[in-house]
Homo-oligomer: A and B are copies of this chain.
Amino acid sequence: MQATTQTQPPSQPATTYPPTDRTVPTRSPDRASYDKELVHSILDEGYVCHLGFVRDGSPVVLPTLYGRIGERLYVHGSTGSRPLRMTGAADPGLPVCLTVTHVDALVLARSAFHHSINYRSVVVHGTAYDVTDPEEKRTALDALVDHVVPGRSADSRPADKKELAATAVIRLDLDEVSAKLRTGGVNDEPEDLALPHWAGLVPLRKGYDAPVADPGLDAGTELPDYLSAP
C-alpha cells in the first residue's frame, strides 16, 4: 500500500494528489500514479469520459464530453438530462466517479494468461456541483469546446442567452485522483519463451483523418490551422 502523503514546502504547490483508500488499487499498485502532470496529460488527451453516479441505488455509467481548467473538470449537458438534473440547486451535490481511459496497444503474449493491453487511465472520485455563476459557466463551456479542438472556442459563435439557459454545467474538483497505466512489452513466463506463438505489441492508431467540410460551407472558407496538422 502506498498510503503516504507527500510533504511539500509551503510555498510550493503539491505536485501529486494525496492517495486515499479509494485511489490506492488493491492490485498492481506499481501501476498507479498520483502525479498531477501525468493526470493532466491523460485527461487532456481524451475526448470522452465515463461518468458514474448512483440512481435509485444502482450504478449508472454514461459517456460524456468534458473539459479541464486547472484542478477542476467540467461536464455539460442539457438541463433535462439525468445526472445534470440530479445536481440541481435543491441537491447537495452528486457523488460521482469520472474515468478517462486511453488504449495504447494490444499486448499479445505467448500465453493466453499474459495477454493484456497498454493503457493509461485516470479515475476521479468526488462530488459534482451545478455551476450557477454565469462567468464560470461561460468559461467552462469554452473549455469544453477547446478540449475537443484546442483554440476552437475563439473560432465559433459563442452561446447566446437561450443556449446558455438550456445548458447545464457541473464541476468536479481534482482532489481524489489517481492514474493507472501499463506500459512496456510482453511479460511471458520464461518457460513459454520458446513457444511457436507470435508475441509482441499491436499499437492502436491515434489522431484523426482528413477533416470533411460541411456541404453548406461558404466557398473560400479555409481549413483552420488548428486542424491542418493533426
CB-CB < 8 A to A204: which residues of B? 47, 207-209
Is A69 positioned at the interface, with any CB of B under 8 Å from its CB? no
Is A93 positioned at the interface, with any CB of B under 8 Å from its CB? no
Residues 39-89 of A contacting B (Cβ, < 8 Å): 47-48, 50-55, 57-63, 65, 77-78, 80-82, 85
Is A221 positioned at the interface, with any CB of B under 8 Å from its CB? yes
Chain A residues bordering chain B, tally (CB within 8 A): 97
Would you call B63 and A101 a contact (CB within 8 A)? yes
Shortest distance in angstroms between A64's beta carbon and chain B's nearest beta carbon? 9
Shortest distance in angstroms between A103's beta carbon and chain B's nearest beta carbon? 5
Would you call A26 and B215 a contact (CB within 8 A)? no
Shortest distance in angstroms between A115's beta carbon and chain B's nearest beta carbon? 5
Other-chain residue from B27, B81, B149, B223 in contact with A27 (beta carbon distance below 8 A):
B81
Contact with B along A138-182 (1 / 0, CB 8 A): 000110110011001101111110010001000000000000000
Is A32 positioned at the interface, with any CB of B under 8 Å from its CB? no
| Cα of A82 to Cα of B134 in the assembled complex, Å | 41
Residues of A within 8 A of B (CB): 22, 25-27, 47-48, 50-55, 57-63, 65, 77-78, 80-82, 85, 95-99, 101, 103, 106, 108-113, 115, 117, 119, 121, 123, 125, 141-142, 144-145, 148-149, 152-153, 155-160, 163, 167, 185-186, 188, 192-218, 221-224, 227
Question: For residue A186, which residue of chain B has the nearest CB?
Answer: B214
Shortest distance in angstroms between A140's beta carbon and chain B's nearest beta carbon? 12
